[in-house]
Amino acid sequence: MMKRALFAVAAMMMALPALAQEAEHGAEAPSLFAGDLGNSVWTLLIFVVVLVVLGKFAWGPILNTLQTRESFIREALEKARHDREAAEARLKEYEQKLAAARGEASAIVDEGRRDADVVKRRIEAAAKEEADKMIERARREIQIATATATKELYTLSAKLATQLAAQVIGRELTPQDHERLISEAISGISGIEGAGRN
């Protein structure tokens, strides 16, 4: 950049005498290059000194600041891009986890329904089995009660028949006779009932 500036100044210095001569011959309007060669040299020298001073004390720090700012912006953009990519990756990961959690929740609900159906069937089967057992127990108890009542009825009928027979015969029976007559009466009544059922 400095070389370009010096080249431009040198080119102006060479063109300066030609421009000054043209200004003297032709136009009456004031020219920037009007005057003598000494003023032009001093102007050029001051310009070069100002250019060097600005280059050393102003443009260098300004350029460094601009380069620092450019690198900061570049790093910030790179970091933002990296953060955006990381955020997108995390978002995809969370979406996958959410989909997996939904699938797992659905599977748990389905499993719960299946388990509930299995438990319901077990409870129904156990209740039916218990009811069947209770009905069977009730039937047995009814049969036992019926048999007991029938036996008591036979025994009572036999005693009554024995007492009636004793009164008719007119003699008193011994306990052995009494038991024998009761047994015969029960056998006779059981035989009559068996024949009636058949």
**pLDDT-derived band of residue 198, with 50, 70 and 90 as boundaries?**
very low
Per-residue pLDDT of 61-87, as tens digits, reads: 788 888 999 999 999 999 999 999 999
Q: How many CA atoms lie within 13 A of 184 on its CB side?
A: 8
Residue 122, token pair as written in the block? 């077990």
Q: Which residues contact 183 (CB under 8 A, 6 or more apart)?
A: 158
**What torsion, rounded to 10 degrees, do the Cα atoms 112, 115, 120, 122 define?**
-170
pLDDT value of position 66: 87
* Whole-number pLDDT of residue 172: 61
Give the SS3 label for residue 39: helix
Per the CB < 8 A criterion, the answer to whether 20 and 34 are in contact is yes
Which pLDDT value is given to residue 20?
A: 62
Q: Which of 24-33, 41-50, 98-107, 156-165 has the lowest mean pLDDT?
A: 24-33
